[in-house]
Amino acid sequence: MTGVVYFSVSMSLDGYIAPDSPEELMGRQWMELQHWIFPTQFFRENLKLGAGGEGGPDDDVARATFERTGASIMGKRMFDAGEEMWPEEAPFHTPVYVVTHERRDAWERPGGTVFHFMNDGIDSALDQARAAAGERDVRIAGGAETILQYLNAGLIDEFTIALAPVLFGAGIQLFEGVDASRIALEQRDVVPTRRATHLTYTVRER
């Protein structure tokens, strides 16, 4: 029994998951995109922000996403942005495989997150992540380019989108460059909350 390969992102109604560059502040739009997760108990616990926070369906989604994940994969740009932003105890608490051309030794953080820098492509990174995850799932954490590489290669089993009630108008679109001739979706689960709509799809080949 092995886990699935999935991704889970917050997306604006017009399809964006990030501004054009990590330095770019989008002000209220960016906060509105992530607004469903900030008030949750899970978010506070995981970043050690202290007690409090809300339970409920948004909290359940955030917690379940964390708990199902035995290893994560991310692109170099996401790692670079995160390296600046994550607290010393990085919020993964599992192995994380960074797909990059940079050669670098594994980087162990307090709390169980270990970043491994993978130089031989997405398949190899996935093999390592699967082995590390065991029965749990492998999450393709981001960014959009890395998610699309795995999706277009037919390596994603399912995904969840937290569709936020906000329009970006510019930035990085999750599905730009998707091979739509190859990928069919099956709508599996919809969880509406006050702050977002959590949509889960199974990926099928056409």
Of the candidates 184, 134, 165, 143, the residue with the CA atom closest to the CA atom of residue 29: 165
Q: Which two tokens stand for residue 121?
A: 């492509």
Using CB under 8 A as the binding criterion, the count of chain residues that bind its own copies stands at 37
Q: How far is the CB of 156 from its own copies (least distance, A)?
A: 12
Is 184 a binder of its own copies (CB under 8 A)? yes
Q: How far is the CB of 11 from its own copies (least distance, A)?
A: 9
Pick out residues in 128-167 that bind its own copies (CB under 8 A): 161, 163, 165-167
Angle ∠(175,87,145) on CA atoms, nearest 5: 15
**In the chain, what are the helix, strand and coil shares in percent, each to the nearest 5?**
30, 30, 40
Q: How far is the CB of 58 from its own copies (least distance, A)?
A: 12
Q: How many residues are present in the chain? A: 206
Q: How far is the CB of 129 from its own copies (least distance, A)?
A: 24
Instruction: Strands of the chain (E only): list them.
Output: 5-12, 16-18, 69-75, 95-99, 107-108, 114-118, 137-142, 158-164, 172-173, 183-192, 197-205
Q: Which residue's entry shows tokens 């937290």?
A: 162
Pick out residues in 3-42 that bind its own copies (CB under 8 A): 13-15, 28-29, 32
Please select the residue that binds its own copies; options are 104, 145, 185, 205, rule is CB under 8 A.
185
Beta-bridge partner residues of 72: 96, 139
Q: How far is the CB of 164 from its own copies (least distance, A)?
A: 8
Judged by beta carbon, residue 26 or residue 90, the one nearer its own copies is 26
User: Interface with its own copies by CB under 8 A: which residues?
Assistant: 13-15, 28-29, 32, 161, 163, 165-170, 173-181, 183-187, 190, 192, 194-197, 199, 201, 206
